[in-house]
A and B are shown apart, each in its own frame.
Chain A
């Protein structure tokens, strides 16, 4: 077994070696850190230093929160100070005006901030990129204006003063008795644990898949809307908890405590530490919060220096200080042993009689005045390999987009297993058993090979948010089963030797294979392969042919778009020919090559062209 990573502790740069070192002693390292953090305030330190420890942990918590939508899901928020403020004000007002205790007010702070997160998350259904960032920015300003002007409730620009410290069974938690330190440490550790369990579940994989390629994620059956909003709501609730602690720690808050600068500081921590990593958040917060204090001796030049350091760090480590891609092998769920997993895909049971799996009847699709697909009908029977061929622009990929729910149709109907599926949501079509690959490969390039396949299993991974958070028996069972399944698929397609590597590092032919593996992982019975042999050399494309035949023998049904005539003629049971959005011929491969219409429209041209090339 040639494992790319076996020699990683000898190879690799400093960071990668360090990570490997720590990964091997994982539990010991975590235990050491926790003991260190528990003991830190017991060392005789000036209380202003302890205060900085506390601020670092507050910002660490905020950064972990922001990292969910921004680092993992790819939605940059410029307004997380708003959630921080809502949490702070909710708790401060409940405690000072309604005589709540801190711990009674805390859930309300998280809840109200979470509702605000929902309000910001909802526009993310329609917006992305910079537009979404502007929405979050505007939202934060609105929140600040409400806090400044809703005087009867928030006390306006005068702020909330004399906020009591948290009491824990009669003990006032202050900086001096280290109570504040331990309280925020507990909050930080819980947040870290929450983020960790989420990231290591189908939820975390869905987040990253959305960041990497939202359309591909949709095609894997991920409910992108749900996960994008979930990321925002979680982020907001975590920020709200940090805010509640902040209010009772600072003991005075006003709308100016939560400005754009605060949002930017949190975002800087996430970027500087390393987006989409957990380890980066702690280091980023420690550096960015302590720097201004450490640099105080520079007097009025300290922020010049601070800025300079930021610029240099971004210049030399644009991925963030701890933002490298982990070279540590993917951690299998306990109980899964790679070597015990077989290479044979399970078969899909077939009945003897031929029955249509998918039927397309008189489908019409228009783009403006142009009919991209007009009155096309075809069917694919169980266990068949059917190809659709035709010149460029004939409407082949449009048909795939219709079948998978990307486009709505303007007429006709589509049946899968005798049920109507046209104009259904892509996620539902995947769930019914139709999956696809793309003409221009759409993998999740910065996810590992095995994670790409696991994203494929997402649609039929049956556990929810609470199972993931509490790691229930159901979660462990499902994760183990899906991981085994993913490994088995990779073994059967010959990619298991690269399963720990990142998809972008694979050569072209293997990326195509991985896309097929990912499609199989959805438990699809019908695979739509869009030019699977494109860009492959003859050796690779022969391997692929064999694999597709193997799939057919295991009971899969395959609908193919292909230009490579060698592939099409060798493998297809039946062929449909499309030209200008119309079906011009259908039949067995032998019949198609003799069909004069086809020769005129398509094959003739290609053959002429090919002959020219060879001579």
Chain B
């Protein structure tokens, strides 16, 4: 008898749910934006960042009454950073015809298990984080709103030249795939700049504690500034050891320095360092302030540049729905491909391969703070 009671209760619940959702769709038109990524596990902070950013963008539009006559909804999928799950999610998402676009996933390898499905079904996919050089090669429905290292590196070189005014440059790079590839790009960029000369290139292991050998070599070569191709676990100890010997040495690095940890760990030794960013929380532009505060309220911390890129990706899809007044996937793609979007990460448009052409600003550390200088 008890079992029958539970069964009855369950069936009522199920019917109630079907009924509830059934009446909902009858009244207004719905367009869904999907977001997928690692929502659990060690990379969950990135997936959740994408999720919050997408939700905030959609809520912003819904407050204004939706986009193009559609009420917007976000659907979230956890791929736990696994390609098989990503591919299954892709299959599931493309069959839901209310979905007009999908944002994610986090890692290139996982995303690329899903992109063939998006491409075949014709659903716009914008990645806010993929770094694989061929990510967008799956087809014309696949876009990337993330930086390419050659564009980012050019801004580092600009900072060294314009802000630090250095002439003789040393290059330090970590011995990883990324480090070697980036060092090759940087070498070319420095050589192409008439004001700068690359005098010495040193390599080190990722996250080493002792940089006395490269520092001695840099000093012997008489460099004005060093560009560090590495994460902040390399940058901070290197800066500390170099500045203890020569407080005036110029330092420059990459967008990954945009992290409060660097200020905390580096203290006085990282002062005046320059590096490029595409997104800057401390900006006083109203759309950035709005996003930062809303994100902070939801996530309890400031958005990373990847979350900001997801926010803009969602914004582009929303704008496409608004402007085309349609949930037709092909129309949405055409609109996104030719978009000129003014987002929190600056002006964004895509080239013919679907790569975002982003403009970087240069930040400098001054009095223990990040300051925009160029």
Contacts and interface: CB of A to CB of B under 8 A. Distances in A.
Interface in A226-251: 250-251
A57 to B, nearest CB: 13
Contacts of B112: 159, 161, 252, 254
A251 B137 CA distance: 13
A51 B83 contact: no
B88 A48 contact: yes
Contacts of A302: 40, 78
B177 to A, nearest CB: 6
Interface in A47-64: 47-48, 51-52, 55
The dominant DSSP class at the B interface is helix
B20 to A, nearest CB: 16
A46 B92 contact: yes
21 contacts: A46-B91, A46-B92, A47-B91, A51-B91, A156-B177, A158-B132, A158-B133, A161-B134, A162-B116, A162-B138, A252-B83, A252-B109, A254-B83, A256-B83, A293-B88, A296-B78, A300-B40, A300-B44, A300-B78, A302-B78, A303-B80
Interface residues of B, number: 30
A159 B111 CA distance: 12
Given A158-B134, A252-B112, A175 B78 contact: no
Interface of B: 39-41, 44, 77-78, 80, 82-85, 87-89, 91-92, 95, 107, 109-110, 112-113, 115-116, 132-134, 137-138, 177
Contacts of A299: 39, 78
A250 B113 contact: yes
Contacts of B83: 250, 252, 254, 256-257
Give 10 closest A-B pairs by Cβ, nearest first: A48-B91, A48-B92, A254-B109, A252-B112, A51-B91, A251-B116, A256-B109, A47-B91, A300-B40, A252-B113
Q: How large is the interface on A (under 10, 10 to 19, 20 to 34, 35 or more residues)?
A: 20 to 34
A175 B120 CA distance: 12
B95 A292 contact: no
Contacts of A293: 88
A239 to B, nearest CB: 16
A157 interface: yes
Interface string A260-279: 01000000000000000000
Interface of A: 46-48, 51-52, 55, 156-159, 161-162, 175, 250-252, 254, 256-257, 261, 292-293, 296, 299-300, 302-303
A508 B323 CA distance: 86
Given A292-B80, A296-B78, A299-B78, 9 more contacts: A48-B92, A51-B88, A55-B84, A161-B112, A175-B91, A251-B116, A256-B109, A256-B110, A257-B109
Contacts of A51: 87-88, 91
Nearest to B114: A252
Contacts of A251: 113, 116
Contacts of B133: 158
B69 to A, nearest CB: 28
Contact of A250 (B77, B84, B134): B84
A252 B116 contact: yes
Contacts of A47: 91, 95
A208 B80 CA distance: 38
A20 B39 CA distance: 45
B47 to A, nearest CB: 10
Contacts of A46: 91-92, 95
Task: Tell which of B83, B88, B134 has the most Cβ of chain A within 10 Å.
Answer: B88
Contacts of B138: 161-162
A157 B177 contact: yes
A47 B96 CA distance: 11
Nearest to B116: A251
A296 B138 CA distance: 27
Contacts of B82: 261
Contacts of A296: 77-78
Contacts of B95: 46-48
B40 A303 contact: yes
Nearest to B96: A46
Contacts of A52: 88
A250 B87 contact: yes
A250 B110 CA distance: 11
